[in-house]
Amino acid sequence: MPKKILYVEDDEDTRKLVRMILKSNGYKVITAYNGREGLKKLDEDDIDLVILDIMLPDISGWDIFQRIKKDPRNRDVKVAFLSVIPVSEERLDTLRKCGIEDYIMKPFDNDDLVRRVGRILEG
């Protein structure tokens, strides 16, 4: 059974690209344009990993992450950020302590994206 990934991203081109890359590597990928749609799809399906953009039109990726972690139904769901916003090593350490599995910077290398997603889902 392929692992299910929910990718929440408002940029259509990036959403399609990430979906294509991950799908071609054996993952089932569900996408959402904004936070509300993403949270709805998370409730409707059994998701293994949520990948969030930070800057979304309605709810920030950080706020979505906090909602996911507060819901006991999602305790096993892993979360990563895929964003253009740079973070310092200190901030990255803080994010990991809060439960973020990884922080992937845009633009990203396709192989690196697949490798990092694989590492998250295996761990």
Domain boundaries, the chain: 4-122
Q: Is 78 helix (H, G, I), strand (E, B) or coil?
A: strand
CATH number (1.10.10.10, 3.40.50.2300, 3.50.50.60, 3.40.190.80) of 4-122 reads 3.40.50.2300
- pLDDT, averaged across the chain: 96
- Sign (positive/negative) of CA torsion 98, 119, 38, 55? positive
For strands 49-52 and 100-105, give the pairing. unpaired
pLDDT over 90 (residue 123):
no
Nearest to 60 by CA among 35, 85, 97, 94: 35
Confidence of residue 104 (pLDDT cuts 50, 70, 90): very high
pTM: 0.96
Per-residue pLDDT of 42-67, as tens digits, reads 999 999 999 999 999 999 999 999 99
Nearest to 28 by CA among 19, 39, 38, 36: 19
